């Protein structure tokens, strides 16, 4: 399937903000809106975006209606998620993918939003694993990589991603279609209609607060399920708080190599996307990229633009 690229964002465009998962703090959302406006966009959201129902941003009907409203509004150029948390998976059975894909636009989120990224990606839409309005965008340059954001989403460049501070776990060179997201969410999609197609892909995987044995278990499940048989390479995130304890005597990197090392593909670790202490880097899923981990410095880059300049 040829990727369906959304049009690039332009100054003056309207960005719709959605909360398909956990409930938000309005003051944090307001800070993120200010950041979007500083980039030249007009940010809009529904009056009920601050609804609360247990740990969710209101009932399913509200969240689903909001998502479809902004994803199909012809006057909206992009849709950004307010935050992750939990609850995006509730929307999947009722997604009107035909309507959404027929009018493609930039859709950006991470963490629990991996569920929606996977569903839209499986329908052919290029989607964006990146900063969210009430979490990392609100922090400005300290929260997300503005340079990559603008070059990728506004100027339509096939960017070279920053790899400083990353660690090579396995050397090699590979090309493939980018896919992935939060590891625990990807595993939760196994056996569903929205299970990602990983064949020939470069998988970008990240998570937070998981013990090394849990990372081992999830990677092992993906491998035993055949989901990693044809993966061309791996880019792992920073994986914050993914240790057992300070004196555990081993590293998460060693665990990853033990599970995946014999696949003979390049593995990069510590890339700042999703849950990250460093400025968050937006990564498009659905377009081709290249990963090179041999030589003096690792290289991770796009081979084609993720948006169209129309």
Indicate which residues carry an active-site annotation.
Answer: 111, 206, 275
Q: Could you give the C-alpha distances from 240 to 8, 21, 214, 269, in angstroms and in order?
A: 31, 21, 14, 12
Q: Mind spelling out the 3-state secondary structure of 18-70?
A: ECCCCCCCHHHHHHHHHHHHHCCCEEEECHHHHCCECCECCCHHHHHHHHHHH
Q: 73, 72, 71, 79: which is closest to 9 by C-alpha?
A: 79
* Locus of tokens 């209609």: 193
DSSP H or E run through 217? helix 212-224
Rounded Cα–Cα distance for residues 60 and 87 (Å): 9
Instruction: Please check whether residue 201 is in contact with residue 227, taking contact to mean a CB–CB distance below 8 angstroms.
Output: no
> In the chain, what is the straight-line distance between the N-terminal and C-terminal CA atoms, in Å?
21
Cβ neighbors of 50 (< 8 A, separation 6 or more) are 19, 23, 24, 26, 29, 57
Rounded Cα–Cα distance for residues 227 and 249 (Å): 30
Q: Could you give the C-alpha distances from 56 to 43, 65, 130, in angstroms and in order?
A: 22, 15, 21
DSSP class of 279: P
């Amino acid at each position: 399937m040829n990727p369906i690229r959304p049009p690039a964002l332009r100054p003056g465009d309207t960005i719709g903000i959605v909360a398909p998962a956990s409930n938000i703090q309005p003051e944090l959302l307001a800070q993120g809106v200010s950041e979007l406006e500083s980039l030249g966009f007009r940010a809009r959201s529904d009056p009920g975006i601050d609804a609360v129902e247990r740990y969710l941003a209101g009932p399913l009907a509200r969240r689903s209606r909001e998502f479809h409203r902004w994803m199909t509004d012809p006057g909206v150029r992009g849709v950004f998620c307010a935050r992750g948390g939990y609850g995006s998976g509730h929307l999947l059975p009722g997604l009107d993918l035909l309507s959404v894909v027929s009018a493609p636009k930039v859709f950006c989120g991470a963490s629990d939003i991996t569920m929606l990224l996977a569903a839209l990606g499986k329908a052919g839409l290029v989607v964006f694993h990146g900063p969210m309005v009430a979490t990392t965008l609100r922090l400005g340059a300290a929260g997300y990589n503005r340079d990559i954001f603008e070059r990728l989403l506004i100027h339509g460049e096939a960017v070279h991603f920053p790899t400083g501070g990353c660690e090579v776990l396995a050397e090699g060179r590979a090309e493939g279609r980018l896919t992935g997201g939060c590891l625990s969410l990807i595993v939760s999609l196994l056996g569903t209609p929205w299970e990602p197609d990983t064949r020939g892909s470069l998988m970008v995987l990240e998570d937070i607060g998981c013990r090394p044995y849990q990372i081992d278990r999830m990677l092992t499940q993906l491998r035993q399920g055949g989901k990693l048989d044809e993966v061309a390479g791996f880019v792992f995130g920073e994986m914050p708080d993914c240790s057992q304890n300070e004196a555990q005597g081993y590293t998460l990197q060693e665990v990853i190599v033990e599970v995946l090392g014999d696949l003979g593909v390049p593995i990069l670790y510590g890339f700042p996307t999703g849950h990250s202490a460093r400025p968050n880097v937006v990564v498009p899923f659905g377009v081709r990229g290249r990963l090179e981990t041999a030589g003096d410095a690792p290289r991770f880059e796009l081979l084609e633009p993720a948006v169209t300049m129309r």
